């Protein structure tokens, strides 16, 4: 009996629920388990169940990162120029910006978009500093 033949033996609601379960990510599956345990008192079976990803999960590409942290990793030969850039982008005072630059590695901005992060990195590198996106 093929999978298609077996699927026709089930009603639409059962097939829909089964398809939803197969398509769950590990985080979503954990949340379902926690919900069933907390709300309905249903405990998972002991013995370590094996969770296998369905074909749809295997085909998914990993989500592209949308938020980045720009971390200053060095200031090179031109510390003053890097301090000026740090002051401009962070709004810090002279002493705070100097302390940040001298205390590398330090985050300049956190949780910003890719375009803004790359622009900030280019500004720092143009001033003689080094930084990385995380």
Q: Where are the domains of the chain?
A: 3-59, 68-133
Q: What is the CATH number of domain 68-133?
A: 3.30.1390.10
Whole-prediction pTM value?
0.51
**Structural tokens at position 55:** 């074909």
- Indicate the pLDDT class of residue 7, thresholds 50, 70 and 90: very low
In the prediction, which pLDDT does 73 show?
Answer: 92
What distance in Å separates the CA atoms of residue 67 and residue 61, rounded to the nearest whole number? 18
Q: How confident is the model at residue 1 (pLDDT cuts 50, 70, 90)?
A: very low
Q: Which residues contact 90 (CB under 8 A, 6 or more apart)?
A: 97, 100, 108, 109
| Position 35 confidence tier, pLDDT thresholds 50, 70, 90 | confident
Residues 120 and 130: their CA atoms lie apart, in Å, by 11
**What is the tens place of the pLDDT at every residue in 51-60?**
555 555 545 5
């Amino acid at each position: 009996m093929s999978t298609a033949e077996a699927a026709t033996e089930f009603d639409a609601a059962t097939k829909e629920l089964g398809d939803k379960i197969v398509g769950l990510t590990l985080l979503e599956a954990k949340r379902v388990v926690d919900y069933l345990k907390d709300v309905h008192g249903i405990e998972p079976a002991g013995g370590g169940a094996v969770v296998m990803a369905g074909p749809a999960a295997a085909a998914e590409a990993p989500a592209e990162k949308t938020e980045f942290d720009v971390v200053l990793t060095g200031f090179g030969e031109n510390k003053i120029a890097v301090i000026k850039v740090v002051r401009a982008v962070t709004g810090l005072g002279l002493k705070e910006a100097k302390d940040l630059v001298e205390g590398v590695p330090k985050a300049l901005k956190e949780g910003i978009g890719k375009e803004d992060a790359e622009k900030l990195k280019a500004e720092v590198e143009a001033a003689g500093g080094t930084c990385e996106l995380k």
